[in-house]
């Protein structure tokens, strides 16, 4: 089985999506008919070894990459057939991003970086929500600083705040703790989890760190471009066990 479903409302959905890179001998099939649903207000982690297709899956869900076959829906909109203009709008208004490499603009202050998606759209932040976000990420006294004056953890918290500020349908986080020490990583992850628990934000996070995955409500495991397992309410131990088990199997398990 390569499909995974959740009960309740869906924020993003992939149906039978295929993604093939290159051609001829260099051809690599990154996704082979993946179907998955990501529930609204849920924190989902996508795990898998390198080359399993987890990043590709996220990129396709986020409208950063196109699928070769199958459909992707974000918040009820099918995005697999949208052009660049519509995709840009979608990213701007309905999707938030947190990247491994913080990816802040060095010319802008922390506050300006957080406001960037709204500024691009020409919208004003809701003052109340702004206060909430700033307080939650604990950056009130750092707002005028440039990224170069912030620590890695602070930068990533700015990036998280930037993703949250527009209240997108989904936030996609790509290895958000990959470049952080464990303490800063824990801060960022707690912050992401609390935004789900307290504000009903939907988050999809790609990671290869079992500890990071344990912050999620649910973990989806990928191997060789297909979903091979999933866990609800994971702990670091159960995630690690599942991964070990998957490592020893040569073929994808059928669930």
- Interacting residue ranges for other proteins, rule: CB under 8 A: 59, 64-65, 84-85, 88-89, 91-93, 96-97, 99, 101, 103-108, 116-117, 119-122, 148, 162
The smaller minimum CB distance to other proteins, of residues 162 and 218, is found at 162
Q: Shortest Cβ distance from residue 167 to other proteins (Å)? A: 14
Q: Shortest Cβ distance from residue 84 to other proteins (Å)? A: 7
Q: Shortest Cβ distance from residue 102 to other proteins (Å)? A: 9
Handedness of CA 36, 179, 29, 84 (dihedral sign): positive
Give the separation between CA 200 and CA 195, rounded to whole angstroms. Answer: 7
Residue 51 tokens read as 């080359």
Helix axis angle, 152-165 to 110-121, nearest 10°: 20
The smaller minimum CB distance to other proteins, of residues 88 and 135, is found at 88
The smaller minimum CB distance to other proteins, of residues 81 and 88, is found at 88
The smaller minimum CB distance to other proteins, of residues 146 and 186, is found at 146
Give the separation between CA 45 and CA 24, rounded to whole angstroms. Answer: 33
Give the separation between CA 96 and CA 196, rounded to whole angstroms. Answer: 14
Produce one character per residue of 22-57: b if its CB has 16 or more CB atoms within 10 Å, e if not. Answer: eeeeeeebbbbbbbbbbbbebbbbbbbeeebbbbbb
The smaller minimum CB distance to other proteins, of residues 119 and 126, is found at 119
Give the separation between CA 23 and CA 34, rounded to whole angstroms. Answer: 21
Q: Shortest Cβ distance from residue 15 to other proteins (Å)? A: 21
Q: Shortest Cβ distance from residue 155 to other proteins (Å)? A: 13
Give the separation between CA 217 and CA 20, rounded to whole angstroms. Answer: 30
Q: Shortest Cβ distance from residue 101 to other proteins (Å)? A: 7
Best CA proximity match to 42, nearest among 68, 13, 80 = 13
The smaller minimum CB distance to other proteins, of residues 19 and 42, is found at 19
Q: Shortest Cβ distance from residue 120 to other proteins (Å)? A: 5
Question: Is-contact 106 148, C-beta < 8 A?
Answer: yes
The smaller minimum CB distance to other proteins, of residues 18 and 186, is found at 18
């Amino acid at each position: 089985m390569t499909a995974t479903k959740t009960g309740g409302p869906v924020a993003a959905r992939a149906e039978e999506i295929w993604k093939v890179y290159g051609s001829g001998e260099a051809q690599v099939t990154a996704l082979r008919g993946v179907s998955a649903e990501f529930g609204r207000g849920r924190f989902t982690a996508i795990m898998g070894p390198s080359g399993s297709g987890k990043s590709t899956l996220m990129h396709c869900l986020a409208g950063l990459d196109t699928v070769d076959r199958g459909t992707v829906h974000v918040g009820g909109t099918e995005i697999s057939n949208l052009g660049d203009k519509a995709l840009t709008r979608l990213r701007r208004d309905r999707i938030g991003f947190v990247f491994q490499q913080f990816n802040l603009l060095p010319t802008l202050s922390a506050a300006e970086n957080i406001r960037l998606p709204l500024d691009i759209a020409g919208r004003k932040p809701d003052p109340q929500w702004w206060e909430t976000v700033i307080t939650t990420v604990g950056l009130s006294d750092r707002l005028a600083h440039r990224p170069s004056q912030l620590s890695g953890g602070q930068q990533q918290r700015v990036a998280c705040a930037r993703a949250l500020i527009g209240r997108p349908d989904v936030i996609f986080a790509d290895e958000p703790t990959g470049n952080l020490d464990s303490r800063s990583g824990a801060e960022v992850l707690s912050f992401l989890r609390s935004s789900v628990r307290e504000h009903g934000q939907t988050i999809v996070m790609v990671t290869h760190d079992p500890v990071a995955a344990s912050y999620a409500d649910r973990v989806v495991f990928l191997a060789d471009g297909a979903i091979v397992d999933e866990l609800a309410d994971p702990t670091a131990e159960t995630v690690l066990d599942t991964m070990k088990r998957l490592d020893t199997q040569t073929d994808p398990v059928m669930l």
